[in-house]
């Protein structure tokens, strides 16, 4: 076995070498900033049949290839209440998967879906905001579903 190298004597010091400190990031990396769920904090009350109503937050959108039956926006104090009712040809699991992905992208985390009497319900939360997705039983190839959201205006 070869002998260990002997350090060269330090000039003018104690013979100890002190390395500079390297700053390390501690903890989790900073989260990406989440988008505002309400683009307009004070939309006007409105309802529509067969289409999306003006003032509906962008996060509340139908599953692609759906037929919208109704939508609404209502402001009560510092809460904006929104709803969307539609039908699609996709099955319940695909409707839920669509919203898990869409809502997850804006930081809305969901609780596991619960089923009762053929209806499946899943609620998504972020801070004081929430959206509940309710998917009904398919009839004649159409799966009905609704979204009901409660968003804080921060006022």
Q: What is the pLDDT of residue 115?
A: 86
- Tens digits of residue pLDDT in 52-96: 998 899 999 999 999 999 999 999 988 999 999 999 999 999 999
Q: Which domain holds residue 89?
A: 46-152
Find all residues with CB under 8 Å of 23, minimum gap 6, and list them: none
Residue 51 has pLDDT above 70, yes or no: yes
Query: pTM of the entire structure?
Result: 0.77
For the segment 109-114, the average pLDDT, to the nearest whole number, is 86
Token digits for 76?
Answer: 């009560």
Please report whether residue 72 resides in a domain: yes
Task: Classify residue 36: in a domain, yes or no.
Answer: no
| First-residue to last-residue Cα distance in the chain | 75
Residue 86 belongs to a domain: yes
How high is the pLDDT of residue 126? 92
Domain CATH code at residue 138:
3.30.310
Structure tokens at 100: 């898990």
CA distance 7 to 19: 15
Residue 17: inside a domain: no
Judged against a pLDDT cut of 80, whether residue 12 lies above it is answered with no
């Amino acid at each position: 076995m070869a002998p260990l190298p002997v350090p060269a004597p330090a000039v003018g010091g104690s013979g100890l070498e002190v390395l500079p400190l390297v700053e390390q990031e501690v903890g989790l990396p900073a989260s990406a900033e989440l988008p505002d769920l309400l683009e307009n904090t004070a939309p006007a009350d409105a309802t529509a049949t067969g289409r999306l109503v003006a003032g509906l937050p962008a996060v509340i959108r139908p599953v692609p290839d759906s037929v919208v039956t109704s939508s609404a926006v209502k402001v009560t104090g510092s809460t904006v209440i929104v709803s969307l009712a539609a039908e699609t040809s996709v099955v319940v699991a695909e409707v839920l998967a669509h919203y898990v992905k869409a809502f997850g992208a804006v930081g809305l985390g969901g609780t596991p879906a619960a089923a009762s009497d053929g209806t499946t319900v899943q609620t998504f939360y972020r801070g004081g905001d929430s959206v509940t997705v309710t998917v009904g039983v398919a009839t004649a190839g159409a799966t009905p579903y609704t979204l009901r959201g409660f968003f804080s205006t921060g006022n």
